[in-house]
Amino acid sequence: MSKPAAAKAGVDLAATFEELHSLLKRYSPPFGARTGTVKNKRDYNLWSEKQVIIEGRQCEEVAFAALIEQKGYVGFYLMPLYATPELNSSIPPRLMKLLKGKTCFHVKVLTPELVSDIKSALDEGRALYRKRGWV
């Protein structure tokens, strides 16, 4: 059986996951934390557990951010990008290069600059959720 591409390239995804996990833990509270939501994957999720109305629908909770350790990368999901796509324009280019889809960033290696970019994006997302009364 061959190794995942990240392992072949000498990328330590477990260390990347741990560093991102440590960063996301700083946002709980006000967000509630959950793990074990993805079968056979290491994950960490943050949710606003406040009942809110979004576009006329009552929601018991609202996703904020998540991590999922995949075979070749750590998926960092920033859900405020769904709520406010114009938030993309405030995400630093270094982080935007890792965006695959609407909210998922594929992270392999963390640099101090990238950690700073992720923290800034999380701070902006938290501010947006507070402004909307979602947290």
- CATH number where 80 lies: 3.90.1150
pLDDT tens per residue across all 135 residues of the chain: 444 545 445 678 899 999 999 999 999 999 989 987 788 889 999 999 888 888 788 888 889 999 999 999 999 999 998 878 778 888 889 999 999 988 999 999 999 999 999 999 999 999 998 988 888
C-alpha distances in Å from residue 64, one per residue of 2, 9, 18: 35, 31, 18
Domain assignment present for 68? yes
Q: Which domain holds residue 86?
A: 18-130
Domain assignment present for 86? yes
Domain assignment present for 8? no
Cis peptide before 30 (omega within 30 of 0): yes
Domain assignment present for 2? no
Domain assignment present for 94? yes
Domain assignment present for 1? no
Number of independent structural domains in the chain: 1
Q: Which residues have CB under 8 Å from 90's CB, separation 6+?
A: 121, 124
Task: Tell me the pTM.
Answer: 0.85
Distance CA 91, CA 50 (A): 26
